[in-house]
A = this chain, B = another copy of it.
Amino acid sequence: MTRTERPVIGFLTDFGLDGAAATCKGVMLSICRDAQIVDVAHTVRKYAIRDGAFVLRAALPYLPVGTHVAVVDPGVGTSRRPIGIRTGRGDVLIGPDNGLLIPPAEALGGIEEARELSNRDLWLPVTTSTFHGRDIFAPVAGHLANGDATFDDIGPSVPTQELVRLTEPEATTADGAIDTIVTYVDSFGNVRLAGGRQELTTAFGALADGAGMTVNLNGVGPQTVTFERSFGAVGIGATIVYVDSSGNLALAINQGNFAGQHRVTSGTAVNLRAI
């Protein structure tokens, strides 16, 4: 049996499920027939660059090294730059220069080099002003994945300090207190928070499973919750605070929907306090 090492392309957009992402995949496959395309997500909240960055940062480190395309791009067709980023791990990330690619690049070993996509030989022959995913990002990724273009071919280097960056939400800690913010609401309604195990330890010391604390958010609370490792450690409908599978602080209701019940969205302020 012959085995071929197929090039991997991770692909995330806010295009929804009605054909636009498939169109881009068609372009990639027309150039690189052997590509193994992994749809990371296409139902990212429209225009929500931070949500896209969160999902990419959580997912891409688990994909093989590859050429990954991400398009959450409210500025398509304006002067925002189309870019490629080469990461420490060896991936290339392709997408708009609006902050979307920075968090995943940092999770993939950091930014080694950034380049502006300007080599039109790697684009579709005709480009439009509203669908750079199809016309620019997909074909560039296809050529890189196929090996008929190198990272240097995509366009001139851009100083990494010139790249657009999102402000990074942060948790602040005090003795017995964490003030943080919701960074992402997942499809279960579990809410991911800025900060992680380190902030937890700084604020509350070494927490045993089942340790109690209070949570305030959206004018609701204080509600007592327990620190646990798994959802099923508490009864159905009970709330836990936990460190999620990417190392973030998080809140969840066992078999329930925390965000739906408490009307939580990205950016909601959350206060955790020792009892």
Contact = CB atoms under 8 A, between A and B. Distances in A.
B255 A47 contact: yes
A178 interface: no
A242 B131 CA distance: 12
Nearest to A47: B255
Interface stretch (A162-170, A215-223, A224-232): A224-232
Contact of A8 (B29, B40, B41): B29
A81 B8 CA distance: 33
Residue among A12, A77, A187 having the largest count of chain B Cβ atoms under 10 Å: A187
A1 to B, nearest CB: 6
User: How many copies are assembled?
Assistant: 3
Interface in A1-35: 1-6, 8, 10, 12, 15-20, 22-27, 29-30, 33-34
Given A10-B26, A29-B36, A77-B229, A188 B46 contact: yes
Given A16-B186, A77-B230, A230-B129, A62 B245 contact: no
A75 B131 CA distance: 35
Interface in A58-82: 58-60, 62-64, 74-78, 80
Interface residues of A, number: 69
A76 B188 contact: no
A128 B20 CA distance: 32
Nearest to A252: B130
Nearest to A24: B62
Contact of A3 (B34, B254, B257): B34
Contacts of A22: 10, 38-41, 59, 63
A134 interface: yes
A17 B187 contact: yes
Given A55-B19, A59-B22, A130-B245, A231 B77 contact: yes
Contacts of A29: 8, 36, 38, 63-64
Contacts of A5: 1, 33
Contacts of A75: 232
A131 B244 CA distance: 8
Contacts of A25: 38, 63
B130 A242 contact: yes
Closest 3 A/B residue pairs (Cβ): A77-B230, A16-B187, A26-B63
